Amino acid sequence: MPDVVVVCRQLSCGFAQSARGTAQFGEGTEEIWLDDVKCLGTESHLQQCRIRPLGEHNCNHVEDAGVICNT
């Protein structure tokens, strides 16, 4: 769950509670910018995590991720 910790930290939304996969909050329709995100949990922004080059992906919107933060 380190990726969730980083998302909540970056958005200043409190503590990470859970991650949701398979587009549980709905599928996006725009460009996919991030894929294969691997964070340690100490980063302050997702861009500091290990990711594919921006905009390069091998997925579709059915895999869109969501995050629940607890303020």
pLDDT in tens, the chain (71 residues): 999 999 999 999 999 999 998 999 999 999 999 999 999 999 999 999 999 999 999 999 999 999 999 97
Q: Which CATH architecture has domain 2-70?
A: Roll (3.10)
**DSSP three-state, residue 51:** coil
Give the number of other CB atoms < 10 A from CB of residue 23.
15
Question: What pTM value is reported for the model?
Answer: 0.87
Q: Which residue blocks in the chain are alpha helix, DSSP H?
A: 2-10
**Domain limits of the chain?**
2-70
**The pLDDT value given to residue 30:** 96
Asked whether the beta carbons of 29 and 62 are under 8 A apart, the reply is no
**The pLDDT value given to residue 71:** 79
Residue 42: which residues within 8 A CB-CB, separation 6 or more?
A: none
Instruction: Spell out where the chain has E strands.
Output: 15-20, 66-70
